[in-house]
Amino acid sequence: MKEFSARSAFGTNERSKNKTAENRRRLPKTPKVKANRAVTSSCIKREALFRSDHDSDRWNRSICYTVNSEEYPKRLVICQPHKLTYQKFHLHIHLSSRKKAFQLIQDDPKVSPTAMNFDLRHRTVVIVHGFMGHPRRLLMQNLANQLLTWLSYCSKNEDINVLHIDWSDGCSQIFQYYQAAVNAEYAGIRIKEFFRQLKTNWIENAELLRIEENLLIDRVTGLDPAEICFEDDGIPIRLSKKNARFVDAIHTDAIHTKNDGFGIRDPIGHVDFYVNGGSTQPGCDRREIFFVYGDVLDIIAHMLKNVGCHRIRAAQVFTYSLEQTKSNQCKYWAHPWNLSSNQAETHRVLSKPCNASVCPEMGINADLYDYQNTETNTFYVATTSSVPFCARLS
């Protein structure tokens, strides 16, 4: 759902310094946060923080819409007919670093950075699970572990903050998807408050502070962001280009012409990657279990059948992209592609050769490519049915 399917935020890369600097001038600006950083080797050097742009008093509203547009004439998604407001629930934040894994650093309102192993001078990655998710599940743990391994490979002397956001208390009721969609905003508010408290504590401990007043959010990666209840691009809590300097989305379980998926099909970031077209993944059995009128039972049925395959493929390929930076044997080349392309047009696109000069890489290296200054950048990524899902070697 929106930004909470799983998010990662990163900084820049030395080997693409000139291109990236030029590209960033083209992208929308956000309030900046600069941190002290040293550039080493050719590995990716990134830092960032998660943020929520909107305060709680703006969200006493319904986020549910009926969609029956000319573009998708058969797609009707009816959310809860009455207005919902978010529920307050307990949010847990755990920290993993090279020194210690999965330590609880917030279980009460106040946070003291001197009392825990959190260094705001280090690059920070925030991972937020989605509906029915939990940071202790294998998928999220693998992602966190690969992030730490990836950084160790790039810079042996530098640590990283991997924050695991546990908002499962607000999204674990299987028959309350609509309430979970609204609760996502409260999770964002709590995360924002956490970083505000951290910043305050670090400013009070001036000897620890080596960052400037504002913190720059370099990147947000949406791993198959949800469509249901987030169809309208006017919904402020939907993931968009405004959330960071670079926003990329990986689509693997997108709704196409009927309610036959869970993820959003529309391009929502600076870059959108559609894995095998964004809807059906090799090795996954898809059946149209949704009806014309979306119903919560259909949502649950799809989740139960496909959450172990189509839906999580986005997180899997992103995790493998981290692993493959060391072996350099597999690259998820992304071909420039239009969502309206038919099968023959798609085949022609995929028949063209790909390399770093003409195609970006989906995954951790997505921000290294010099994208065109267009309204949307959509790409097709072909994968296989077996790990690491790479369709061709580098």
Question: What's the mean pLDDT when you consider all of the chain?
Answer: 73
**Burial, 379: exposed, middle or buried (Cβ in 10 Å; 0-12, 13-18, 19+)?**
buried
Q: Does residue 324 carry a pLDDT above 70? A: yes
The strand pair at 103-106 and 219-223 is best described as unpaired
Angle 129-267-351 from CA coordinates, rounded to 5°: 110
State how far the Cα of 371 lies from the Cα of 26, in Å rounded to an integer: 10
Chain segment 285-316, per-residue pLDDT in tens: 644 433 333 455 565 665 555 555 888 999 99
Chain segment 179-237, per-residue pLDDT in tens: 898 899 899 989 888 888 777 776 655 444 444 444 558 899 999 999 888 877 777 78
Distance in angstroms between the alpha carbons of the first and the last residue of the chain: 33
Percent of the chain with pLDDT over 90: 32
Could you tell me the domains of the chain? Answer: 62-216 (no CATH), 219-393 (3.40.50.1820)
- The whole-number pLDDT of residue 391 equals 82
In sequence order, which residues have a C-beta less than 8 Å from that of residue 21 and are 6 or more positions away? none
* Residue 25: C-alpha distances to residues 91, 150, 163 (Å): 36, 28, 29
Chain segment 70-82, per-residue pLDDT in tens: 444 444 444 554 5
Which of the two residues, 55 and 383, has the higher pLDDT score?
Answer: 383
State how far the Cα of 215 lies from the Cα of 211, in Å rounded to an integer: 8
Percent of the chain with pLDDT over 70: 63
* Residue 203: C-alpha distances to residues 12, 119, 196, 198, 232 (Å): 25, 13, 11, 9, 39
Dihedral of CA atoms 117, 93, 262, 77 in degrees, nearest 10, equals -140
Q: Does residue 172 carry a pLDDT above 70? A: yes
Average pLDDT over every residue of 98-120: 70
Query: What is the residue whose two structure tokens read 């959450």?
Result: 307
Q: Does residue 168 carry a pLDDT above 80? A: yes
Query: Does the pTM of the predicted model rise above 0.85?
Result: no
pLDDT bin (cut points 50, 70, 90) of residue 351 is very high
